Amino acid sequence: MEEKEKTENGTPIDCTYSLPDLAKINQFILASPNDGKLFRIRSQILLDSGQYKEALSDAKRALSLNPDDLYNYIVVGKAHRALGHIDSALSACNTAEKSGFNDPDNYLLQGDLYLIIRQYAKSLEYLNKALKLAPFEPKIYYLKGVLFWEKNDTVKALSSWQTAIEQDPSYGDGYARLSSYYMSKKDYSTAEQYLKSGLRLKPNDAFLNYDNGIYLQMKGYPDSAIIFYEKAILLDKKLYLAKENLGYLKFNKRLYQDAIPLFEDAVIYDPRNSNLAYHLGLSYQYSGNLKKAELEISRVINLDKEYVKDAAKALELIKKQITKKLKDSTDRARLEKEG
């Protein structure tokens, strides 16, 4: 860590452990526009703040300025991975490996990428390589847990997630996975233990707040669940599952205007969710937006999954409401014209 945090003439040598602020790095880049290391650092700052396209641009600039610094390939890979460019991310990582880059960050990223495309044997191979070089890194154990889970090996999955939080007691993803599992088994006391421990150590973890919302909703405390869903969304605006669940709770309270933007955001990420589409359509209907209601309820029928019969009945009623509204508008215009 001391090596990573050293500076040279006031400029950070690396940023694996401690990132300077963006304004400071921008000043360094203005002063030294051909220093690839600075672009790499800014790329990682941009990655952390969710500015993935800009991060990729900086990572590529760092690589073009310093092609011999193989860690630049990893930052390019991380940016591609954030943007969902899995093949490009793998290409960058594999190039670094072939060039002799024996680094746990690279192996960890490769393991993650192969996991995404469900090449489990390759994923496990690289995660184990990373583990040999970084035996205390919690994310490696976490990803191994996800891999075992997807291969239906629950015992190894739970053991890996438990090990992840043992290596780093503030590793939120491990608590989230463990609490979700025990909630699915209706073992609420164990789930609550993991949630309380996780939130005590990492109160601003979006997924832990989301999971606590689920737990409270399952236990029959919707008002308390709303608080945690809202906090989860505040911490991660892209957490559409929290928006969907919060939308249902608002819908049940007949707060349709509040539910609509939550459902609208969620449906972008999950457009084939007929439950979500149905409740969005009803929210439009109950708020008086009949045209949007007609479109959304029709989409439920076209999805041909859940709620088809209910949607057909709702659509018939919406069409009658539209017809009546049009007739009332026409009659009103005629009366005004007649005097």
Each residue's pLDDT tens digit, 117-162: 999 999 999 999 999 999 999 999 999 999 999 999 999 999 999 9
* Owning domain of residue 70: 1-101
158 and 181 Cβ atoms separated by less than 8 Å: yes
Domain boundary among 37, 68, 101: 101
Each residue's pLDDT tens digit, 214-270: 999 999 999 999 999 999 999 999 999 999 999 999 999 999 999 999 999 999 999
Alpha helices, DSSP H, located in 32-85 = 36-48, 52-65, 71-82
CATH number of the domain to which 7 belongs: 1.25.40.10
Domain assignment present for residue 208? The answer is no
Domain boundary among 82, 101, 120: 101
Q: Which two tokens stand for residue 18?
A: 């401690």
Give the chain's largest Cα–Cα span: 88
Each residue's pLDDT tens digit, 190-227: 999 999 999 999 999 999 999 999 999 999 999 999 99
Domain assignment present for residue 185? The answer is no
40 and 59 Cβ atoms separated by less than 8 Å: yes
89 and 80 Cβ atoms separated by less than 8 Å: yes
